[in-house]
Structure 1
């Protein structure tokens, strides 16, 4: 899976996608970026409960779901994917705060969408309704709303 996705980022880009081997996965670092990225939205929606969130993170995301986003020796962030037969589910796209707004997420998403199109699958994801910036980002990429409830909006590309 990853080799095909890696090939989608142009050679001129310094951004690379790298698999995380089980020996190299730092769950504390992954959770720290998860918390840094989503705390505001989770807290606003449900209230942040540290123990619950750590447990949920442990059980919801397997080590092999994660792909590192790197630039040379720098760890820019992570993407977590669930690769299914007819659909790729984007579980997380997390970019370190100091690297945001530099088109990194866009490059990763364009690579993911291109790879999915070649494999004739859609890409689905859910987003907190209170995360307006993320919603604008996904809509600019062409994602369409599939469902919406009081807390989340579910997107798909292409819209079916």
Structure 2
């Protein structure tokens, strides 16, 4: 099934409440399973972490359905977060965004990195399908990385030749 047609638009400060509610709906069950959901703590974290300059909003028609936050560094692309409303999950939006980011990282010849809660098995499976591997494990998270493909132009070892008599 082809992915749902969507567009991306830059986030603004006006998206703060949408992104918070989106996180609560998309990631809330995993946060609840890991630490428990504490509204005051989550509001405080959101206030510290919401960065419109790094965030884009997925829009289907005129409806915002998700967001992606990416930090582009000189030596890597970091997927900070990707949230999609539950009703819009498994429709190809996240997979397409992930594939686009991987193409960007590969074009720049840098790896892509992310962190995912260990209890979020659906996300882990998606990342593995896109070539991510676990490179670090904490009590609560996996750090995963996808490296750009090695160049086909890399030098090859020459096969040994046999001496003829």
Query: What TM-score range do you get, normalising by the shorter chain?
Result: 0.7 to 0.9
- Secondary structure of the corresponding residue to residue 65 of structure 2: strand
Q: 1:106 to 1:17 in 2, by over 3 A?
A: same
CA distance in structure 2 between the aligned counterparts of 1:44 and 1:85, rounded to whole angstroms = 35
- Secondary structure of the corresponding residue to residue 83 of structure 2: strand
Question: Quick one: which of 54, 64, 74 aligns to 2:63?
Answer: 74
In the alignment, what sits opposite 2:6? 15
What is the CA RMSD across the aligned residues, in angstroms? 1.9
1:131 equivalent to 2:120? Answer yes
CA distance in structure 2 between the aligned counterparts of 1:154 and 1:61, rounded to whole angstroms = 21
In the alignment, what sits opposite 2:109? 120
Tell me, yes or no, if the aligned pair for 2:4 and 2:91 is still in contact at 8 Å. no
Question: Quick one: which of 106, 110, 117 aligns to 2:99?
Answer: 110
CA distance in structure 2 between the aligned counterparts of 1:144 and 1:100, rounded to whole angstroms = 22
Tell me, yes or no, if the aligned pair for 1:144 and 1:159 is still in contact at 8 Å. no
Unaligned 5+ residue runs, structure 2? Answer: 150-165
Unaligned 5+ residue runs, structure 1? Answer: 1-11
Structure 1's consecutive aligned runs of 4 or more residues displaced over 4 angstroms after TM superposition are: none
Tell me, yes or no, if the aligned pair for 2:16 and 2:50 is still in contact at 8 Å. no
Which structure would you say has the larger Rg?
2
1:50 equivalent to 2:48? Answer no
| TM-score under structure 1 length normalisation | 0.85
Count of aligned pairs between the two proteins: 147
